[in-house]
Structure formats: structure tokens, C-alpha cells
Amino acid sequence: MAHQQFKDCIDACVACAVACSHCATECLKEEHVAHMAKCIQLDLECAAICRSAAEVMSLGSSFSAHLCRVCADVCKACAEECEKHAEMGMDHCRQCAEACRRCAEACEEMATPV
């Protein structure tokens, strides 16, 4: 069943969307917001695409694999940026990077034609 097949990937996408939105809002409270601008920008792009991928998979759509392809790519870009700040001790970026990596992996698997 389409929905069951998509279940793990949906979970990874919604968790990633939540982590990205949260990371963006926490970045905005940091002392040096200017350093976080690229991170916030990628958070927003990643959250939007993750939400969409989750919705489309929940609908069992045949376009899911195509959206997961884009989602995997934005997740990797966002993870890369967040990891820079995670190294410097920002916990919201560390959590976000982890969620992005998990989501990228799950989406890669969905995106790969079986």
C-alpha cells in the first residue's frame, strides 16, 4: 500500500520540517543573526519542500518520487550549513542537521527508482 510504503519517509519529512522552522526561529534570536542568514534561508526552503513532500506522499501520489528527489537535495544543502554552526555549539542547528540528514537519506531511497 502506497501510504505504508511512504510511512518512514513521511515521518522523516515532517520531523525535518518542524526542526527547520524551529531552527529558523532560534537563529533569529542569536546574538550574531547576520552569521545565521544563510542558515535561516535554507531552513525556510527546506521546511517548505519537506512539508510538501510529506503531503504528497500522504496522498499516495505518483509524483512522490520526483518531489523526494528535490527534497533530498535541499535537505543535504541545509544539513551542510547547519553542521557548520552545530560545531560551534548551536543546539538547534545540531538537531536540525540531524533531522535533515535522516530526511535526505529517507528521500534518497524513495527517489531511487526500484
* Candidates 53-61, 82-90, 99-107; binding stretch for its own copies (CB under 8 A): 53-61
Contact flag: residue 41 with its own copies (CB under 8 A): yes
Q: What b/e readout covers 15-53, taking b as 16+ CB neighbours within 10 angstroms?
A: bbbbbbbbbbebbeebeeeeebeebbebbeebbebbbeb
Query: What whole-number distance in Å separates Cα of residue 24 and Cα of residue 79?
Result: 13
Site for its own copies (CB under 8 A): which residue of 5, 9, 12, 74? 74
Is 102 in contact with 10 (CB distance < 8 Å)?
A: no
Please select the residue that binds its own copies; options are 8, 9, 12, 37, rule is CB under 8 A. Answer: 37
Compute the least distance from the CB of residue 68 to its own copies, in Å.
10
Contact call for residue 63 and its own copies (CB under 8 A): yes
Length of the chain measured in residues = 114
**CA-CA distance, 93 to 39, in Å (whole number)?**
9
Residues in contact with its own copies by CB under 8 A are 3, 10, 14, 17-18, 21-22, 24-26, 28-29, 32-34, 36-37, 40-41, 44-45, 47-49, 51-52, 54-56, 58-61, 63, 66-67, 69-70, 73-74
